[in-house]
């Protein structure tokens, strides 16, 4: 047996794998971890990191014990949910043409490579590729159809090709396209539970609630506890909390000692105020995983659920003091402090500034701002939010604002960071000139999207609330760069396109340019004025242009005025 050299310069005793042969083996039996591992090695040799990462993830799903061998391949961030082929779930991909060229060369050399044909099918339907030249749309459509046909013929699992196309379309905001793809899998047997879950989400986004519920019911027939845990989070995100609890109970019947499933159950029970059930779940967690940090925080949260903000805040502060200052606990502490009746407003404001200082320091501030300063074009306003759904307070006060924008004067962009879609979400989307599904984007990608859209005024609608369920720290870090990416120095009206506004309570970032708040939240004290505030002005609601009873953080309490703070 002859040796060959891997890309890292090491010698391997095994000959290079024939990828076509490996895919043939997987078509005979797709749950072969060793074959997926060999595919990952082959893709790495050919400098195809997206494909290598996909193969590695499949190998790990088939056999978790194979993890050391996968780590030895040094594949980069192959488990990062926003990296690799997850980028195919973006609405645009600037490097699409380069990828098409690279992947086309791969399929010529290895025509039996299902995964690369699949990637080509998706790349050929992305807008950047289809609109660069006048003749590109028809050519791209033909190329897409050819790649789709080749991938479908080569797939190792029936329906896998259109499943991934549906998922990527859904993540990119093309719900109708996702339904078109995933609906083809309804009659496939064995039933594809994951495909039904994504179909349910896509159907909800286009307003077909009855069909979505039927798709979710099909998905819940799975006997895979890991999948059921994922399904519960997704249906709960759409307010199907009773169904989510039922799914979790099924998962626990299959795997009664699984700590993450108990945590998910306790979390939902807490949020829907099933407090006795939550306490029982936390007792079970205490027996399974004593002093588990998240269970401890959930137990502390029960104080807040029962109205004891003081005890809740003390528990959160203790956990924050012993942990990472960039964690989501900073937001939890800041938010809980707003409900502590005995804390003076000045102390609350000071606490917010202390909590946000490490986050702000971890982000590099950008000072360039190339937008043209012209009075002849529309002013571009961007909103960052994940809360445009059902009876969420942000939706209640923002939807009327979005619907009343004068689009002759303003160009509206919404960066939707949430997962829930309903009739309110669709109304908000119809009120925007641009809409980006940003939940699947990492911070850098969302930042780049906002900069590419040349937004003049960016409105943060998150504050210190933590939307469920989100990647740990992502909301907090997203707030940080959202508030820092535009320069601080501006002079209304001459330098208007440099403003970042927090339309809710102040997040504690000194780089926010303006807040719309109640005075109890940010007091007009000497310390605040010394830390960069240039003006502190009270306006009657009508003059401020705000509705009589909103937003929430401006309306709760007896004040008849709102405060507009400029830094």
Closest CA to 148 of 132, 163, 138, 135: 163
Q: Do domains 4-221 and 222-304 have the same CATH topology?
A: yes
Has domain 4-221 been given CATH number 1.25.40?
yes
What is the DSSP pairing of strand 379-385 with strand 457-460?
A: parallel
Strand pairing partners for 162?
none
How confident is the prediction along the chain (567 residues), in pLDDT tens digits per residue?
344 444 444 434 445 568 999 999 999 999 999 999 999 999 999 999 999 999 999 999 999 999 999 999 999 989 888 789 999 998 888 899 999 999 999 999 999 999 999 999 999 998 754 444 444 556 668 999 999 999 999 999 999 999 999 999 999 989 999 999 999 999 999 999 999 999 999 999 998 999 999 999 999 999 999 999 999 999 998 889 999 999 999 999 999 999 999 999 999 999 899 999 999 999 999 999 998 988 988 988 888 888 888 888 888 888 788 777 767 778 788 878 877 778 888 888 888 888 878 877 776 666 666 777 777 889 999 999 988 987 688 888 889 989 999 999 999 999 998 888 888 998 999 999 999 888 877 777 788 888 888 888 888 886 554 333 222 223 333 333 333 333 333 232 333 333 444 444 444 555 554 545 544 444 445 444 444 444 444 444 444 444 444 443 443 344 444 444 344
In the chain, DSSP finds a helix count (H) and a strand count (E) of 27, 10
Q: Where are the domains of the chain?
A: 4-221, 222-304, 379-566
Residue 440 makes CB contacts below 8 A (sequence gap 6+) with 81, 82, 86, 89, 90, 171
Q: By 3-state DSSP, what share of the chain in percent is helix, strand and coil, each rounded to 5?
A: 55, 10, 40
CATH topology of domain 222-304: 1.25.40
Inter-CA distances, 388 with 106, 394, 399, 422, Å? 43, 7, 8, 9
Closest CA to 113 of 142, 80, 155: 155
**C-alpha torsion sign, points 176, 235, 210, 428:** negative
Question: What class, spelled out in words, does domain 379-566 have in CATH?
Answer: alpha beta
pLDDT at 551: 40
């Amino acid at each position: 047996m002859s040796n060959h050299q891997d890309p890292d310069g090491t010698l391997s005793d095994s000959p290079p794998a024939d990828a076509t042969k490996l895919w043939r083996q997987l078509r005979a039996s797709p749950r072969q971890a060793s074959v997926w591992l060999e595919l990952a090695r082959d893709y790495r040799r050919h400098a195809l990191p997206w494909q290598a990462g996909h193969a590695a993830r499949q190998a790990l799903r088939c056999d978790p014990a194979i993890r050391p061998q996968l780590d030895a391949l040094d594949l980069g961030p192959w488990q990062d949910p926003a990296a690799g082929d997850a980028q195919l779930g973006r609405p645009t991909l600037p490097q699409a043409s380069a990828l098409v060229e690279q992947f086309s060369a791969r399929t010529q050399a290895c025509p039996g490579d299902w995964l690369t044909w699949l990637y080509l099918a998706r790349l050929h339907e992305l807008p950047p590729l289809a609109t660069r030249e006048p003749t590109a749309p028809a050519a791209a459509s033909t190329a897409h159809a050819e790649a789709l046909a080749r991938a479908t013929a080569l797939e190792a699992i029936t329906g896998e090709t259109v499943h991934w196309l549906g998922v990527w379309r859904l993540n990119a905001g093309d719900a109708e396209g996702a339904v078109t793809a995933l609906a083809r899998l309804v009659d496939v047997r064995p039933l594809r539970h994951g495909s039904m879950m994504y179909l349910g989400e896509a159907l909800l986004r286009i307003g077909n609630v009855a069909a979505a519920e039927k798709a979710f019911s099909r998905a819940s027939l799975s006997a895979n506890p890991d999948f059921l845990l994922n399904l519960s989070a997704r249906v709960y995100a759409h307010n199907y909390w009773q169904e989510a609890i039922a799914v979790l109970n099924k998962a626990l019947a299959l795997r009664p000692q699984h700590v993450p499933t108990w945590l998910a159950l306790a979390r939902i029970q807490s949020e829907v105020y099933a407090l006795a059930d939550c306490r029982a779940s936390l007792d079970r967690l205490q027996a399974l995983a004593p002093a588990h940090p998240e269970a401890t925080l959930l137990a502390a949260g029960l104080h807040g659920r029962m109205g004891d903000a003081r005890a809740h805040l003390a528990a959160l502060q203790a956990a924050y003091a012993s942990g990472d200052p960039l964690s989501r606990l900073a937001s939890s502490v800041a938010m809980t402090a707003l409900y502590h009746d005995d804390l003076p407003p000045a102390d609350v404001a000071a606490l917010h500034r202390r909590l946000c200082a490490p986050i702000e320091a971890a982000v590099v501030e950008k000072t360039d701002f190339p937008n043209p300063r012209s009075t002849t074009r529309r002013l571009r306003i961007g909103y960052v939010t994940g809360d445009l759904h059902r009876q969420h307070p942000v939706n209640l006060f923002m939807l009327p604002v979005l619907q009343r924008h004068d689009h002759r004067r303003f160009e509206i962009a919404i960066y939707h960071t949430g997962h829930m879609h309903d009739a309110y979400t669709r109304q908000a989307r119809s009120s925007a000139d641009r809409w980006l599904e940003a939940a699947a984007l990492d911070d850098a990608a969302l930042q780049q999207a906002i900069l590419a859209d040349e937004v003049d005024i960016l409105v943060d609608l998150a504050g210190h609330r933590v939307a469920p369920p989100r990647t740990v720290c992502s909301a907090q870090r997203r707030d940080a760069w959202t508030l820092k990416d535009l320069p601080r120095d501006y002079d209304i009206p001459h330098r208007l396109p440099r403003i970042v506004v927090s339309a809710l309570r102040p997040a504690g970032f000194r780089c926010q340019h303006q807040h719309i708040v109640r005075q109890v939240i940010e007091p007009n004290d000497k310390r605040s004025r010394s830390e960069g505030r240039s003006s502190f002005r009270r306006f009657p609601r009508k003059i401020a242009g705000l509705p009589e009873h909103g937003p929430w953080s401006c309306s709760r309490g007896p004040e008849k005025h709102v405060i507009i703070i400029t830094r």
